[in-house]
Structure 1
Amino acid sequence: MTEASFNRFRTFIEGNLGIKMPPSKMIMLETRLGKRLRALRLDDYEQYCDYVFSDEGFAQEIQQLIDVVTTNETDFFRESHHFDLMTSRVLPSLVQENGIKNLNVWSVAASTGQESYTLAMVIEEFARAKAIPLEYKILGTDISEKVLKIATTGIYTLHQASKIPDSLKRRYCMKSKNPEQKTLRMTPEIRQKVLFRQLNLMDDSYPIRKQYHIVFCRNVFIYFDRPTQKQVLQRIYSHIAPGGYLFMGHSENIGSVDLALRSISTAAYRKEE
């Protein structure tokens, strides 16, 4: 890949996706785009670059470029203490102390959906343990159409689902009828609680009308520079209900952003009422 082509990709990626793309990532970008060159039967990255940024190519290929560039690492019960905190403190505060009966939850970078379904299982278990009626909806958003299609199916390999406790697997997962497939699927009761939609965090505003009581935005800001982090966090903050909670990744912090968020635990915050 020539430096000129890399800079064209870099300008688009940083400007439209907010993902930092220093020169050291050129090899990574070459590796990821190699599959697209082969799929389109193009000879080199310069041809691919010209195609992507042509009128026809932009319409046909830009989503493929986005899917290739974005990192989609996720897991069930990832950073599990956050889910423990939900059960022990967050849900009791919202549901029992404040009487919220219709809970809105947002998984900001949903990827292939494991976090969203984990949230659903945790909320279901809380309601079951407390024997209380609780309505809730979980919105899972991501910029990649590819991962959202996977998330919508709710189908995962047994390896991907290995961190789901056996008791929850029996209650909220269905094994494939074909034992050779070695997959499971979230039950319809869980799937109907989760809605997946495409969303670009770099947009000036988000097509979201609700205020969310719980927002998970973990390991997203590590890909943004400081100014982008501040802008995106302010937009997400505007969609958190007063008294609502924000969860972030361990390596992320909001120290330089002047928002009414109070730390309640590691990488967990409450929006002041």
Structure 2
Amino acid sequence: MNHSLYSGSGIVPEMDDVQFSRWQSLLEERTGMCLPAQRRSFLQTSLGLRMQEVGCDSYQEYYDRILSGPAGAIEWNTLVDRLTVQETRFFRDPDAFAFVEQHMRHMQRALGEQETFEAWSVGCSSGEEAYSLAMVAEEVLGHSGRRFAVTGTDISTIVLRKARAGRYMSRSLQWLPEFCRASDMLTLDSGHIQISDSIRKSCCFSQVNILNLDACPLEQQHLIYCQNVLIYFRRWRRREILNVLAQRLAPGGVLIIGLGEMVDWQHPLLEPVRSSRVSAFIRKSETSTGETARR
């Protein structure tokens, strides 16, 4: 029986076990993402639609094109954009952002007078998460004259372009807390919201493959927000990612991940936050780290 799918513009060919395994391995090798068997139809549809666009008749032909020189590298980047873009929204986890606000208020007192509060949104997608962090920072730190900066990183160049533009459908307003709607952090324009220039200038966006975090220059972060990212990786790779992020925190800085994403992970530099609402870790001070090492 032929189980090919109809896409609306043509027939998406059926993907056999050999081809699924081949593409599954390539995706994990290059991005670290582990695509389970339950998502075969997603992979088949995504590949099939792109194959129609570029005129490839089989998964093998497209696979060979992906591996062929500079043109293949460009095509691979296009495909990764299709396969890795995940749903996101402003203030997606209210409990986590309540913890972010609490942490920023604490750091407001702990930071040096000229020190900038640094935050990093890992896997920022189209920017809503990074801008949410910036809006909280503006409310907590900006009003008292404190400087802050938010960096958003993602592997997809398409979503990063959207993030830099800072323009979203007006339905996004439903996820924004009242202090954002009532402020000058955004404007309404013909069915869209536009993030204000002041908030956008506090944010920068950069392409980073999470497998290459060692090469990422971000250091001494006061907040690293990494939610809904680790679930796409194998457990051993999640540990590798978190170990690198732990090293990038400043003393007193906080790492926030999704509830249940890594329940048994520990790191000697970090102290877990005891909470049933948020999964977070605080970087110990240099003094306490040294004391731990001597024990």
AA in 2 matched with 1:218: Q
AA in 2 matched with 1:174: T
State whether residues 77 and 164 of structure 1, in contact with CA within 8 Å, keep that contact through their aligned partners in structure 2: yes
- SS of the aligned residue for 1:58 comes to helix
Q: How far does residue 33 in structure 1 lie from its aligned partner after superposition?
A: 1.5
AA in 1 matched with 2:151: L
Larger RCO: Structure 1 or Structure 2 (Cα < 8 Å, ≥ 6 residues apart)?
1
Unpaired segments of 5 or more residues in structure 1? none
Aligned equivalent of 2:199, options 178, 187, 190: 190
Aligned equivalent of 2:84, options 45, 61, 70: 70
Partner of 1:83: 97
Distance 1:146 1:204 in 2: 20
Partner of 1:97: 110
RMSD, aligned α-carbons: 1.8
Aligned equivalent of 2:176, options 139, 154, 164: 164
Aligned equivalent of 1:37, options 51, 61, 65: 51
- SS of the aligned residue for 1:216 comes to strand
Q: How far does residue 204 in structure 1 lie from its aligned partner after superposition?
A: 5.9
Q: How far does residue 115 in structure 1 lie from its aligned partner after superposition?
A: 0.6
So what's the TM-score if we normalise by structure 2? Answer: 0.84
State how 1:247-262 maps to structure 2 within 5 Å: 247-262=256-271
Q: How far does residue 169 in structure 1 lie from its aligned partner after superposition?
A: 2.6
Distance 1:66 1:221 in 2: 17
Q: How far does residue 151 in structure 1 lie from its aligned partner after superposition?
A: 0.4
AA in 2 matched with 1:175: L
AA in 1 matched with 2:25: T
Partner deviation per Cα, 1:129-164 (whole Å, 9 max, x = no partner): xx5211111000001111101101000001123211
Distance 1:211 1:159 in 2: 36
AA in 2 matched with 1:109: G
Q: How far does residue 9 in structure 1 lie from its aligned partner after superposition?
A: 1.4
Partner deviation per Cα, 1:189-243 (whole Å, 9 max, x = no partner): 0000000000011126132143100010001111111110111111111111111
Distance 2:36 2:219 in 1: 36
Q: Which has the larger radius of gyration?
A: 2
Partner deviation per Cα, 1:66-122 (whole Å, 9 max, x = no partner): 1122142211011111221222x3112212134463111000110000011011110
So what's the TM-score if we normalise by structure 1? Answer: 0.91
Aligned equivalent of 2:126, options 89, 92, 112: 112
- Alpha-carbon spacing, 1:251–1:141, altered in 2? closer, same or farther (3 Å): same
- Alpha-carbon spacing, 1:174–1:203, altered in 2? closer, same or farther (3 Å): same
State whether residues 2 and 46 of structure 1, in contact with CA within 8 Å, keep that contact through their aligned partners in structure 2: no
- SS of the aligned residue for 2:175 comes to coil
Unpaired segments of 5 or more residues in structure 2? 1-14, 286-295
State whether residues 141 and 147 of structure 2, in contact with CA within 8 Å, keep that contact through their aligned partners in structure 1: no
Q: Does 1:268 align with 2:277?
A: no
- SS of the aligned residue for 2:171 comes to coil
